[in-house]
Amino acid sequence: MEEKERLRVLELFSGIGGMHYALKESSIPAEVVAAVDVNTTANEIYKHNFPSTQLLSKTIEGMTLQDFDELAFDMILMSPPCQPFTRIGLQGDVADPRAKSFLYILELLPRLRKHPRFILLENVKGFETSAAREALIQTLRQCDYRFQEFLISPTSLGIPNSRLRYFLIAKKAPESFSFLVSEEILESFPSSESSKSLAAIDDHSKTSVSEKEKLGTIMFKLETEEEFERKRNQDSQESVRRLQDFLEEEDVHMDQYQLADKTLLRYALLMDIVQPSSRRSVCFTKGYGHYVEGTGSVLQCSADVELESAFKSLELLSQEDKLQRLLQLKLRYFTPREIANLMGFPQDFSFPKHTSIKQQYRVLGNSLNVQVVSRLISLLSSN
């Protein structure tokens, strides 16, 4: 792409602006000519951070073909609703009403006066086996696009957070990619051998552990041997940064993030507990801070207490003694700013003052990793 060109970018399902930040991070000459989203809270946050960008607070279906044509965009960035495809949801796929807006885009794309040169889409793992994905591929081929699919996690970039996501980048022919396109879904960035091994640790890597380690470390929590081995392998990856690089300064405002006593007593065995020195954390979801199980890691702030000793024979203690043992760990939730750091949002990203902590967790859980998308935008725009 020539330096003098300035791409006109349309950001659909814009949320809190993760795609916009990724575009800025990529440093390609571009301007977001319009962002579209129907979520009121997300739109307030987007407008707070990008006050000069045209933000259309409406459904995608509320836009006509003429509306799209008048924007004269060169690139579409989009992250359609993931609920129809998520592995823990109902997996309604194209029958889910929340997939309607995405299907509308696929209907309009062939009819546009001018097809965009570039398309980037993000969604959850699971989208790659959906009927919606099949409809997308069919539409891209119909419109003569070349494309590449990916399943990428931030660990590929040395970021200590597992967030495996589906991505697709597409170029309008006759433009071609700067790498060899494959019909396979790539699990690493092209020409980056190290990424392959890092991406793999999110889901299926295994490491051998001694019988002593199994008995001493696995059995004190409700954790399978496979889960333990995967986490142990992640923590051994020196090419992944430590969580401490992403944390805020410990000060008085951290009190509000401490886990409640009743939460400790009820969910202690189910929590994913990490330390500042850890090189991993599990995916943060929109329920973080409200629900405990499966929504994200919690941070152990007490460096002088061994996790194993805190959980040893815990079930034999009275409720009061059990609580005192767990309190020694000084467990807290990650702050919204820390999660934003792990998701690659820059330091100048912020929330309006009236945005509640619960709302901040919710919109971050629905967002994407800025650094991963930035790398993909760079791949998409390079010749």
Same domain, 152 and 284: no
Average pLDDT over residues 351-360: 97
Q: What is the pLDDT of residues 144-155, one digit of tens each?
A: 999 999 999 999
Answer positive or negative: Cα dihedral of 209, 210, 213, 215. Answer: positive
The pLDDT, as a whole number, for residue 206 is 36
Q: How confident is the model at residue 70 (pLDDT cuts 50, 70, 90)?
A: very high
Active-site residue flag, 283: no
Is the domain of 320 the same as that of 372?
Answer: no
Same domain, yes or no: 357 and 236 = yes
Instruction: Identify the pLDDT of residue 98.
Output: 66
The CATH number given to whatever domain includes residue 150 is: 3.40.50.150
Phi, psi at residue 31, to the nearest 5°?
-140, 130
Separation CA 369–CA 194 (nearest Å): 19
Quick: pLDDT tens for 173-195: 999 999 999 999 999 999 744 44
The string of DSSP letters for 3-22 reads TT--EEEEEES-TTSHHHHH
Q: Is the pLDDT of residue 221 over 80?
A: no
Q: What is the CATH number of the domain that holds 223?
A: 3.90.120.10
Residue 205 placed within a domain: no
Q: Do residue 377 and residue 343 come from a single domain?
A: no
**Which one from 82, 143, 283, 301 is the annotated catalytic residue?**
82
Decide if 374 is inside a domain. Answer: yes
Instruction: Give how far the C-alpha of residue 169 lies from the chain's centroid of Cα atoms, to the nearest Å.
Output: 17
Q: In angstroms, what CA-CA distances link 192 with 106, 177, 189?
A: 32, 16, 6
Distance CA 335, CA 351 (A): 13
User: What's the pLDDT score for residue 375?
Assistant: 97
Q: Determine the angle formed by the axes of helices 18-26 and 370-381, rounding to 10 degrees.
A: 50
CA distance 157 to 180: 21
Write 45-53 long-range contacts (CB < 8 A, 24+).
Answer: 45/16, 45/17, 45/351, 45/352, 45/355, 45/363, 46/14, 46/15, 46/16, 46/17, 46/20, 48/350, 48/351, 48/352, 49/16, 49/17, 49/348, 49/349, 49/350, 50/17, 50/20, 53/20
Q: List the domain range (segments joined by +) for residue 230.
A: 211-363
pLDDT at residue number 100 = 87
**For the chain, how are helix, strand and coil distributed in percent, rounded to 5?**
40, 15, 45
At residue 84, the pLDDT reads 52
Is the same domain home to 50 and 103?
yes
Are residue 84 and residue 183 in the same domain, yes or no? yes
Does residue 1 sit within a domain? no
pLDDT of residue 205 exceeding 50, the answer is no
Q: What is the mean pLDDT of residues 33-55?
A: 97
Q: Is residue 95 part of a domain?
A: yes
Provide the pLDDT for residue 293: 84
Four-CA torsion 339, 341, 343, 346, nearest 10 degrees: 140
218 and 150 co-located in one domain: no
Average pLDDT, rounded, for the chain: 87
Do residues 228 and 326 share a domain? yes
Q: Has residue 206 been placed in a domain?
A: no
What is the spatial distance between Cα 18 and Cα 42, in angstroms, rounded to a whole number?
Answer: 11
CA angle 159, 164, 166 (to 5 degrees): 125
Distance between CA 185 and CA 370 in Å, rounded? Answer: 20
Do residue 76 and residue 158 come from a single domain?
yes
Average pLDDT over residues 9-35: 97
Query: Considering its fold, how many domains does the chain have in total?
Result: 2
**Residue 267 shares a structural domain with residue 154:** no
- With respect to residue 2, please indicate whether it lies within any of the assigned structural domains: no
Domain identity same for 46 and 148: yes
What's the pLDDT at 225?
Answer: 75
Check whether residue 292 and residue 344 sit in a common domain. yes
Give tens-digit pLDDT for 237-271. Answer: 889 999 999 999 877 588 899 999 999 999 998 99
| Residue 41 belongs to some domain of the structure | yes
- Lowest-pLDDT choice from 76-85, 151-160, 214-223: 214-223
Parallel, antiparallel or unpaired: strands 331-333 and 298-300: antiparallel
pLDDT at 282: 94
Here the tokens at position 273 are: 């507990």
Q: Which two tokens stand for residue 6?
A: 């300035």
- Per-residue b/e over 96-132, b at no fewer than 16 CB within 10 Å? beebebbbebbebbeeeeebbbbbbbbbbbbbbebeb
